[in-house]
Amino acid sequence: MAKDRKPTYRSQFDGHRRLAAAVILQAIKDMSSAPTNQDRVTASEFLESDMWPFSDVLDLPMDGQSLRDYLQNIDELSSEISR
């Protein structure tokens, strides 16, 4: 008698969405802990750039602003939490 396996949360997303999320998360991590200042600047510039290709993959509005707004809100929340 085989058990029905529940799909993992991660399996709900296709490879493109997981890759987009991984790139964004790595850039967020690199903003604060990259080994060189240039890497931190590059990550920051990437996150502040037009994010429409990622917005498309992640099913956000295509204006590129939604993802930047979301990341800015996360940054503001983390600042409030660390106070």
pLDDT, tens digit, 9 for 90 and up, residues 23-76: 888 988 898 888 999 998 998 888 888 777 777 777 777 676 777 777 777 777
The answer to whether residue 7 sits within a structural domain is: no
From residue 61, alpha-carbon distances to 39, 53, 65, 76, 81 in Å are: 28, 10, 8, 22, 28
Total domains in the fold of the chain: 1
The answer to whether residue 2 sits within a structural domain is: no
pTM (two decimals): 0.61
The answer to whether residue 5 sits within a structural domain is: no
Which residue range forms the structural domain that includes residue 77? 15-81
Res. 2 pLDDT band, cuts 50 70 90: low
The answer to whether residue 22 sits within a structural domain is: yes
CA angle 53, 54, 58 (to 5 degrees): 125
The answer to whether residue 4 sits within a structural domain is: no
